[in-house]
Amino acid sequence: MGFSKDVYEALKEILTLDSRVEALSKSVDAISARLDSFGAATSARLEDHAQRLARLEGKFELLETGLMSRRRRLPEQGQG
């Protein structure tokens, strides 16, 4: 009976380890899926921010160009 009990305990230990590995595998898969969705959402947000920044830079350059041309014309208007 001692041998069969040892075999039973060994099989029980193997099955317990197998179930733990399976549970860990499922957890890792779930975390991986979350990271993938988070990465996609973050990528979309960064792209949106980059587009907004490009528009703001364009507006700033337009304002800067407009103000520079007025500053150049002011002395000419003051003299005339």
Q: Domain coordinates of the chain in residue numbers?
A: 1-80
Alpha helices, DSSP H, located in 1-80: 2-79
The tokens 């230990």 sit on which residue?
13
Does this model's pTM top 0.75? My answer is no
* pLDDT of amino acid 5: 87
Q: How much is the mean pLDDT over the chain?
A: 84
Whether 17 has a pLDDT exceeding 90, the answer reads no
Give Cβ neighbours of residue 2 (< 8 Å, ≥ 6 apart).
Answer: none
